[in-house]
Amino acid sequence: MMTSVKTRKNVLLKSVFACSVLLFMVWLMLPTRSPLDLGQAHHTNNNSNNECTKPFPGKPLKQYAVMIDAGSSGSRVHVYRFNYCQEEPQLEKEVLFHMIKPGLSSYKDDPVAAAHSLDELMEMAVQNVPPELHHCTPIAVKATAGLRLLGKELSDKILIQVRAHLTTKYPFPIAGEDGVQIMEGSDEGVYAWITVNYLLGKLNPSQRGNSAAIFDLGGASTQIVFEPIFPTTHEKMADGDHRYQLDYGKDEPYALYQHSYLGFGLNEARKHIKESAIHAWKDVALKTHQVHHPCLPANHTETITYESTDITLIGTGAGASQCRAVIEKLFGKDQSCTLSPCAFNGVYQPPLADTFKLRDLYVFSYFFDLSQPLGMPLEFSVGELGTLASDVCDGRAAELLKHVPGVDTVLASPDLCLELTYAYSLLRTGYDMAQERLVKTAQKIQGVETGWCLGASIAMIDGYQLCKA
Annotated binding site for ATP: 219-223
Q: Taking the complete model, does pTM exceed 0.85, yes or no?
A: no
> Residue 167: helix, strand or coil by DSSP?
helix
The dihedral of CA 160, 134, 462, 454: what is its sign? negative
State the Cα–Cα distance between residues 67 and 69, nearest whole angstrom: 6
Do the domains 5-183+452-463 and 206-264+327-445 sit in the same CATH topology, yes or no? yes
Considering the domain 5-183+452-463 in this protein, what is its CATH number?
3.30.420.40
DSSP 63: E
Q: Which residues contact 459 (CB under 8 A, 6 or more apart)?
A: 11, 12, 14, 15, 191
Report CA-CA distances (Å) from 383 to 19, 159, 171, 324, 352: 35, 42, 50, 14, 16
pLDDT digits (tens, 9 = 90+) for 8-46: 455 454 555 555 545 444 444 444 333 222 233 344 444
Catalytic residue chosen out of the listed positions 188, 268, 275, 384: 188
Question: 429: how many CB neighbours lie within 10 A of its CB?
Answer: 18
The dihedral of CA 113, 118, 120, 123: what is its sign? negative
Q: What is the per-residue pLDDT for 451? A: 87
Helices in 348-442 by DSSP H: which ranges? 352-355, 366-371, 382-393, 397-400, 407-411, 416-425
DSSP 104: G
State the Cα–Cα distance between residues 214 and 197, nearest whole angstrom: 9
Annotated binding site: 219-223
The matching CATH number, chosen from 3.30.420.150, 1.10.3720.10, 3.40.50.720, 3.60.15.10, for 206-264+327-445 is: 3.30.420.150
Report CA-CA distances (Å) from 389 to 253, 314, 326, 383: 40, 20, 14, 10
Using a 10 angstrom Cβ sphere, with 0-12 exposed, 13-18 middle and 19 or more buried, the burial of residue 277 is: buried
Q: What is the per-residue pLDDT for 14? A: 52
Q: 43 phi and psi, to 5 degrees?
A: -155, 165
State the Cα–Cα distance between residues 343 and 334, nearest whole angstrom: 11
**β-strand pairing of 139-143 with 221-226:** unpaired
The whole-number mean pLDDT for each consecutive block of 10 residues of the chain, a chain of 469 residues, reads 43 50 46 31 45 88 96 94 86 95 96 98 99 97 91 97 98 95 90 89 87 94 95 88 76 89 96 94 91 96 93 96 97 94 96 94 96 98 98 97 96 98 98 97 90 89 76
Going from N- to C-terminal start, the domains of the chain cover 5-183+452-463, 206-264+327-445
Q: What is the per-residue pLDDT for 48? A: 44
Using a 10 angstrom Cβ sphere, with 0-12 exposed, 13-18 middle and 19 or more buried, the burial of residue 132 is: exposed
The arrangement of strands across the sheet holding 90-100 comes to 90-100, 75-83, 62-70, 139-143, 180-182
Q: What is the per-residue pLDDT for 234? A: 83
Active site residue 188: yes
pLDDT digits (tens, 9 = 90+) for 383-425: 999 999 999 999 999 999 999 999 999 999 999 999 999 999 9
